[in-house]
């Protein structure tokens, strides 16, 4: 009896990708070791995030001001991190991380403001991440990798508590 290579491969166990880390845990790891940043970005893009969305038809994100007066969009990785006092005219909305980043395009964003482990995304960071994500989606998965630019990774250790 002769078996084709494909039939043999069908019987072999396949390597499974480990489930993504909790975003907060992945962020804490990346803050300690910037080499762990890819884990953080995988978690960020694949898991649910929470933000304040306007009740009007456009559904735009609420913007807040940091201590220097610069506006930012607040995004939270856990419901427990969302402030209880929702701004007037807004609701808390959950959405996949990639969609949340898409809605943040053109704005500065902060993941988990007010928490010990947080991440500031410049407008350029958001654009770069989304552009890389779109590039990867256009290629076959077997050959695609996401290489996060160095400037996006290095600021894990240099962030100051701006908020």
| Average pLDDT over every residue of 60-89 | 91
Among candidate residues 131, 147, 61, 72, the one with its CA nearest the CA of residue 100: 61
Residue ranges of the domains in the chain? 20-158
Name the phi and psi angles at 111, rounded to 5. -90, 125
Residue-level pLDDT at 80: 92
Range name among 10-19, 38-47, 60-69, 76-85 with the lowest pLDDT average? 10-19
Count of beta carbons in the 10 Å neighbourhood of residue 96: 13
Q: How far apart are CA 86 and CA 129, in angstroms?
A: 28
The chain-wide mean pLDDT, for the chain, equals 77
pLDDT digits (tens, 9 = 90+) for 43-60: 888 899 999 998 886 778
Tokens of 65: 């001001």
Tokens of 32: 């300690």
- CB 82 within 8 Å of CB 50: yes
pLDDT digits (tens, 9 = 90+) for 12-27: 566 665 666 788 889 8
């Amino acid at each position: 009896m002769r078996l084709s290579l494909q039939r043999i491969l069908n019987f072999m166990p396949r390597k499974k990708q480990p489930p993504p880390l909790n975003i907060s845990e992945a962020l804490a790891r990346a803050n300690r070791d910037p080499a762990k940043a890819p884990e953080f970005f995988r978690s960020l893009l694949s898991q649910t995030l929470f933000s304040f969305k306007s009740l009007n038809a456009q559904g735009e994100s609420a913007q807040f001001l940091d201590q220097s007066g610069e506006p930012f969009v607040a995004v939270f990785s856990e419901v427990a991190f969302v402030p209880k006092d929702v701004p007037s005219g807004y609701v808390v909305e959950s959405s996949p991380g990639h969609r949340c980043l898409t809605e943040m395009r053109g704005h500065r964003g902060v993941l988990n403001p007010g928490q010990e482990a947080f991440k500031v995304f410049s407008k350029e960071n958001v654009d770069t991440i989304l552009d890389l994500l779109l590039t990867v989606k256009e290629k076959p998965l077997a050959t695609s990798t996401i290489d996060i630019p160095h400037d996006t990774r290095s600021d894990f250790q240099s962030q100051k508590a701006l908020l």
